[in-house]
């Protein structure tokens, strides 16, 4: 699967530096995959808690953690959810732990090691402005055998 880096408009004209972004759909919210910034330095995959409620994911609060992101203190609640990544041509689904955070002031979710990178071979062609995402072979075989 191939994802072009995404650029957003910059204040005063022009565009911001394009970023590596993958679109990840939550089970129950397939019509609106969430743009997630690929973050190789992040341990977790994080999204806004508001998104969880839209997908009908109940956050039990059994496992939470408080942390700072961008200088803001926030609380993440863990939920194991089914995720799907698609570039519009191919798609791949897997179960993963996602930390849903409140507050979450960021425009994107974060795709980190746990939840995303552990499941994929990711090749970043930063100079050319795109990334390639392939499922980890064992998981791909599991999905094909279902």
Partner 1 sequence: MPTVTVSGHQYSLDSEHVEAALRGKLPEPIHEHFVVINGRRWPPKQVLALVTGLDRADFTTHQARRVLTRLGFSAGRAASSGRRPAVTHIAATTPPPSVASEAIGRPASLAEALRPFIGLWVAVRGDDVLVAAPSPKEVVAWLAQHRQRAQSMFRVVDSERAITGAAPQ
Footprint of partner 1 on this chain (CB under 8 A)? 2, 4-11, 15-19, 21, 23, 29-35, 37, 39, 41-44, 48, 50-51, 54, 67-72, 88-89, 105-108, 110, 112, 125, 127-130
Nearer to partner 1, 33 or 59 (CB): 33
Minimum distance of partner 1 from residue 130's CB (angstroms): 5
Nearer to partner 1, 15 or 141 (CB): 15
Nearer to partner 1, 79 or 131 (CB): 131
Does an H or E element contain 89, and which? none
Q: Which residues on neighbouring strands pair with residue 47, listed in sequence order?
A: 100
Computed over its alpha carbons, how large is the radius of gyration of the chain?
15
Minimum distance of partner 1 from residue 5's CB (angstroms): 6
Minimum distance of partner 1 from residue 95's CB (angstroms): 21
Strands 91-102 and 46-48: parallel
Nearer to partner 1, 21 or 79 (CB): 21
What does the alpha-carbon distance between residue 64 and residue 134 come to, in Å, rounded to a whole number?
A: 30
The 10 Å CB-count burial string (b at 16+, else e) for 90-120 is: eebbbebebbbbeebebebbbbbebbbbebb
């Amino acid at each position: 699967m191939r994802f072009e880096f995404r650029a957003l408009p910059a204040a005063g004209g022009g565009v911001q530096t394009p970023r590596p972004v993958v679109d990840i759909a939550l089970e129950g919210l397939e019509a609106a995959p969430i743009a997630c910034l690929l973050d190789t330095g992040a341990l977790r995959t994080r999204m806004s808690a508001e998104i969880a409620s839209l997908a009908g994911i109940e956050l039990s609060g059994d496992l939470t953690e408080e942390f700072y992101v961008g200088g803001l203190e926030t609380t993440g609640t863990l939920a194991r959810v089914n995720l799907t990544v698609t570039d519009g041509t191919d798609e791949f689904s897997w179960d993963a732990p996602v930390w849903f955070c409140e507050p979450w002031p960021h425009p994107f979710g974060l795709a980190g090691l746990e939840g995303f990178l552990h499941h994929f071979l990711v090749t970043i062609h930063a100079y050319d402005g795109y990334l390639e995402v392939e499922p980890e072979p064992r998981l791909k075989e599991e999905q094909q055998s279902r």
